């Protein structure tokens, strides 16, 4: 299954090992899920995980964060940005996530901010789900 992760999923998954975001990251890192990202989304990942706000909350060292990013880069599916969604959504960072999902032909965009994407629900082929909802649906599909 091909997914696109909003940066808030990486943020939450690397702060706590108890939530759905951590479980989703684990599925990506073990190769059970394939994660896609455009260069713009990858830059967003790096910016968020190196931000002061994140570094103050995570138990990880900067070296561990960089190791995580290096490994994620080795398993992520790179996406060429053929169709741009800028100017359609209020937040340009949200547009970057949508571009990755749309241009990769993803099955699901996973985010905590589902309401930011409500205007797109009938315009895109991918689902937009919160981490917990995604895991529930994913487990049901796997039987």
- pLDDT at position 85 is 57
**Confidence check: pLDDT of 73 > 80:** yes
> What are the pLDDT digits (tens) for 107-126?
999 999 888 878 777 888 89
Confidence of residue 142 (pLDDT cuts 50, 70, 90): confident
- pLDDT at position 32 is 96
> What are the pLDDT digits (tens) for 32-46?
999 999 999 999 999
- Delineate the domains of the chain, giving CATH numbers in brackets: 2-142 (3.40.50.1010)
Pairwise CA distance, residues 60 & 73, whole Å: 18
Structural contact between residues 75 and 32, judged by C-beta atoms closer than 8 angstroms: no
């Amino acid at each position: 299954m091909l997914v696109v992760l909003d940066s808030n999923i990486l943020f939450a998954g690397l702060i706590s090992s108890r939530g759905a975001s951590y479980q989703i990251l684990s599925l990506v890192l073990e190769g059970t899920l394939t994660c896609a990202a455009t260069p713009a989304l990858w830059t967003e990942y790096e910016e968020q995980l190196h931000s002061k706000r994140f570094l103050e909350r995570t138990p990880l060292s900067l070296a561990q964060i960089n190791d995580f990013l290096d490994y994620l880069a080795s398993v992520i599916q790179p996406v060429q940005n053929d169709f741009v969604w800028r100017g359609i959504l209020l937040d340009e960072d949200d547009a970057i996530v949508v571009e990755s999902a749309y241009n990769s032909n993803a099955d699901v965009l996973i985010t905590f901010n589902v309401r930011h994407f409500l205007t797109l629900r009938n315009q895109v082929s991918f689902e937009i789900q919160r981490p917990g909802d995604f895991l529930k649906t994913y487990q049901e599909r796997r039987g």
